[in-house]
Amino acid sequence: MKLTETKLADCFLIEHDVFKDERGLFLESYNKAAFEKLTGLKINFIQDNISISKRGVLRGLHYQSPPYEQAKLITVLKGEVIDVVVDIRKNSDTFGTHLKFRMHADERKSLFIPKGMAHGFLALSDEVLFHYKCDAYYNPASESGILYNDAELQIDWEFLDEAIILSDKDKELPNFNIAPK
């Protein structure tokens, strides 16, 4: 496992060791001891989620408000996405900064997203199978988010705006400057 730091504190891109032969491939997608050794973080993942999305579906930018924040380890199992993380930690030097990653299942990478981040992804392929581990249970009362096309954040989703498919709930998310954090 190889870890690459990003400009957002405690947000890491993880490249997995892949073992290939004539039968196919094998990789260890998560190992608690190895993760803690590489990151220095003690995370107790307690919930796994999978979403399936078709091309053009944008899910996000979502987060849970305190005290129910979630750290996540995300992996694209099938397809390709643009994945975006926004730092919403008010005391962070990178507050309001976003990172964008193009992630493809064939690359066998994961992204660790610490608590205090909004997260979203846009499906670029016909079908995306998206997996994420969470260190806290989903709490509907603390669910929050930021509008994907917020003018202040200026996220380039590299996709025609009129072709993006959003849930009704995501269409109603507030702008960054008024979203609870």
List, by residue number, the catalytic residues.
62, 132
Percent of the chain with pLDDT over 90: 97
Question: Does the residue 21 lie in any domain?
Answer: no
Question: Looking at residue 16, what DSSP letter applies?
Answer: P
The model's pTM is 0.94
Give residue-wise pLDDT tens across range 74-113.
999 999 999 999 999 999 999 999 999 999 999 999 999 9
Question: Does the residue 134 lie in any domain?
Answer: yes
Question: Does the residue 31 lie in any domain?
Answer: no
- Contact present, 116 and 88 (Cβ < 8 Å): yes
Question: Does the residue 16 lie in any domain?
Answer: no
Question: Alpha helix (H) ranges present in the chain?
Answer: 32-39, 168-171
Cis amide prior to 140 (ω within 30 degrees): no
Closest CA to 110 of 60, 39, 181: 39
Question: Does the residue 30 lie in any domain?
Answer: no
Question: Does the residue 12 lie in any domain?
Answer: no
The total of structural domains in the chain comes to 1
Cis amide prior to 61 (ω within 30 degrees): yes
User: Where in 16-146 does DSSP place strands (E)?
Assistant: 18-21, 24-27, 47-54, 58-64, 72-78, 80-87, 98-104, 109-113, 117-123, 127-134, 143-145
- Contact present, 99 and 84 (Cβ < 8 Å): yes
How far apart, in whole angstroms, are the C-alpha atoms of residue 74 and residue 76? 7
Give residue-wise pLDDT tens across range 106-158.
999 999 999 999 999 999 999 999 999 999 999 999 999 999 999 999 999 99
Question: Does the residue 55 lie in any domain?
Answer: yes
In CATH, what number is assigned to the domain containing residue 151?
Answer: 2.60.120.10
Question: Does the residue 23 lie in any domain?
Answer: no
| Domain housing 124 | 45-171
